[in-house]
Structure 1
Amino acid sequence: MAATSPALRSHLPAQRLLGEIKLTGRLMADNAVASWLPGVTFTAAACAHHDIGGWPLARHLVISGLLFGLFAYIFDTSNQAKGAVEDAVNKPYRPVPAALTTPSGLLRRFWIAMAAYGLLGWATGTLMWVALWQAIVIGLHLLVRPGHYLLVKPVPLLAGTVAQLAAAWQLAGPVDATGWRWILVLAIAFNVPLRFEDVRDVDGDRRLGRITLPMVIGHWPVRLWFAASMIAFPVVVYLLLVAPAF
């Protein structure tokens, strides 16, 4: 067996790190804005509500960034570990279709991240919301069959959005009546048009055995529902959240 040169050995950790960064970038590219940014932004809003500024604000935002990075990571690793057949058709740049890892490799990363996410939730006082999200991800991606996707998906994702926003607020302080009003309105408003994302994935979903709303009623009704929801969203937010503050 040939020995590895010291120079080559010294580069292996760096190569592995770069490879993991590349893999993670492809893993989370589609959902980072929707799953990471709202949590951090909502923590900033909660800090403003609780009059937190300066270095404490910076500390809260760093912790929020880590917490919601793991929030997104466990969703994407479990989803893509079980959805490689769909991704091969719809998103071939993702890690498994691109041969950067295997489904079992993603699941190993998932369980490691689950442990880190749970520890961070315990350390930050958000464990209840972290545990709720962990249960949702396990149920939705590892237990539910693809054929039940249409009926099962809406409620867990609504609960997951509540868990996300409640954890984000609780990093800054207790979730009071103002916090709950914002959490519930935004969670419902975000999930009402969410079925639009299934329009792009019909071919891959069909191959995986999923049944989605565009398959049942066609893509045009879903598109029109999405457009109507987006038009109504600013009005609803203003009437229910902004106007009462004045």
Structure 2
Amino acid sequence: MQLTIGLLRSNWTAHCGNSVACLSTRFFSASCTPRDLVGLLPGVTIITFTFSYSFDIANQAFSVEEDAINKPDRPIVSGRLAIEGAYARWFLSWIMFPILTYLMVDSSAAIILVLWELWITVFYVWPKVDHWVARNIFTALGAVLQLGLLDALLSEALPAYQVNNSLARLLFFWLIMTIHVQEFHDMEGDRATGRRTLPLLLGPRGQMVLRATTATVMVVTAVANLLRARMFWGGSTHSMPADIIGLAGCHIASMIIAAIRLITMRWKEADEVTYKYYYTLATYMMLLFHANVEEYTGSYESFVY
């Protein structure tokens, strides 16, 4: 159990946060009751675990040199898990998890998990695509696949549920534009292992420009989303429902806070907190705002896409 926790710890906030964000925003279109939620929790927990573990075991088995610098407390580099044991866990989990997903959900969920394993293989095993654009695409498509797993679970558990792809499009394009926020706190290890991440390619001066540009994208996205939402209520904020106004405030505030931290707090530990907590929260508030506006209006195209 301790080894499993150690394997999952560093990325659990992102994977679990994405799962919670996507699932909670789906409730508006799924018309879930508290009883439905309780019934879904075991399936959501297992899906989140299998998705996260499938990535982390492969990632850490093939990133030992980088982890020795960036994350020395991980099980493999700290000596708590032999590399042979990691390979065995990787092999067994990638076979068992799709079968488990098939039994718990359906064949579509199992196929999505297999696609996730293939996607991981391309980036971390062979041919190990190493380009900053590809890294952004990897995370963006991975998040969409995780959303697809949750959609499969909801469709199986709630017959009246209908999949809406607008949230997936929003999440994909948002991550394409901003997920390089995760690269700042790993620059030391990435530099040592020769990884071509965007901050390293730009150099020290370009990194500040990248931070400022990304922060601007965050704030502009939030403001533009609010302005577009206002159009459904005659262009007046006063005509908007109180809960939408409250969510808009949280959406904008979380983006501004994440943006300020990204520009002003530029050391490794702060960058890690900014990514894992503030950026994740800002992304969640954006999705929640989008889902609520869409529930009121029946259709809502976010500024992001």
TM-score interval for Structure 1 and Structure 2 normalised by the shorter chain: 0.7 to 0.9
Query: What is the correspondence of 1:1-246 to structure 2 with a 5 Å cutoff?
Result: 21-123=1-103, 124-125=105-106, 126-145=109-128, 148-173=130-155, 176=162, 179-218=164-203, 219-235=207-223, 238=226, 239=228, 241=290, 242-244=292-294, 245-246=296-297
* Long gaps (5+) in structure 2: 230-289, 298-305
Relative distance call for 1:120 and 1:155 in structure 2 (3 A) is same
Is the 1:40–1:68 contact (alpha carbons within 8 Å) kept by the matching residues of 2? no
Aligned mates of 2:92, 2:224 — CA distance in 1? 40
Deviations 1:93-118 (A, max 9, x none): 11122111133322221222222320
Relative distance call for 1:45 and 1:202 in structure 2 (3 A) is closer
Is the 2:101–2:110 contact (alpha carbons within 8 Å) kept by the matching residues of 1? yes
Superposed displacement of residue 171, structure 1: 1.1
Aligned mates of 2:87, 2:221 — CA distance in 1? 36
RMSD of equivalent CA atoms? 2.4
Deviations 1:50-78 (A, max 9, x none): 22324432121220111111101111111
Relative distance call for 1:30 and 1:231 in structure 2 (3 A) is farther
Is the 1:114–1:134 contact (alpha carbons within 8 Å) kept by the matching residues of 2? yes
User: Which range is displaced more, 48-57 or 107-116?
Assistant: 48-57
Which amino acid in structure 1 is aligned with residue 217 of structure 2?
Answer: S
* Long gaps (5+) in structure 1: 1-20
Aligned mates of 2:18, 2:212 — CA distance in 1? 25
| Matched length | 224
User: Among the aligned pairs, what percent are the same residue?
Assistant: 22
Normalising by structure 2, we get a TM-score of 0.66
Relative distance call for 1:133 and 1:232 in structure 2 (3 A) is farther
Is the 2:139–2:179 contact (alpha carbons within 8 Å) kept by the matching residues of 1? no
Superposed displacement of residue 38, structure 1: 1.9
Normalising by structure 1, we get a TM-score of 0.80
